[in-house]
Amino acid sequence: MSAFVTASRFIGDLDDEFYADELQRDIWNEASAVGFQSLLWIGLISGAVLPFAAGVTGAWIALGLFLVLMSVSLVVSGYARVRGVDMYAAQKLRRSRIAFAGLLFFLAGAGAALRLLAHYGGGNLQFLWIGAAIGAPVGLAAGVVGIKNRRRQVRETELAADRAELLGFDPSK
């Protein structure tokens, strides 16, 4: 077991006897998912509003929220991936809730950047627009390529496992 999984199991207290009861564990896992999603939505909405409602202080708080949310999201998706579940391959990503979350991320990032550049950059925002014009399409393209490559890898792995099963070969032995 990797250090990441060991640390995650310790943080989540996954070896507690509480998890021995399957129904209890399933309900707790669902409740944890609801809590995680609530944390994300509350953080996204707060991060999108704070730069506009609370000025420079709100922009810094929005950036802090963004870092916390990204850290938690990376731990969740990383743990799932290590355990064999890839959310990018296992679910449809073209959904309205994902588009709305992306819009909130954009509002939080753009709002914080605009507020902080206006405050610390002397109001010279031309570099922000140049960076956004270059960075947004490049970042979007990199994300699309990464997701497509990951889905291709998952399909190839599944096909290899299916072929091995048809030939009677067990790759785990």
For 87-128, write each residue's pLDDT tens digit.
Answer: 766 667 677 888 888 888 888 888 888 888 888 876 566 776
Confidence label for 172 from pLDDT (cuts 50, 70 and 90): low
The confidence score (pLDDT) of residue 54 equals: 93
Could you tell me the pLDDT band of residue 82, with boundaries at 50, 70 and 90?
Answer: confident
CA separation, residue 76 to residues 36, 123, 157 (Å): 9, 38, 22
| Average pLDDT over every residue of 146-167 | 82
Q: DSSP class of residue 124?
A: -
Task: Give the pLDDT score at 142.
Answer: 86
Is pLDDT above 60 for 85?
yes
Give residue 85's region: left, alpha or beta (phi > 0; psi -120 to 50). beta
Distances in Å between the alpha carbon of 21 and those of 8, 65, 79, 170?
20, 35, 22, 31
Query: Does residue 160 register a pLDDT over 60?
Result: yes
Beta carbons of 39 and 45 less than 8 angstroms apart: no
Does residue 4 surpass a pLDDT of 80?
A: yes
pLDDT in tens, 5-64: 888 888 888 888 888 888 888 898 899 889 999 999 999 999 999 999 999 999 999 999
Q: Look up residue 97 and give its two tokens.
A: 């809730």
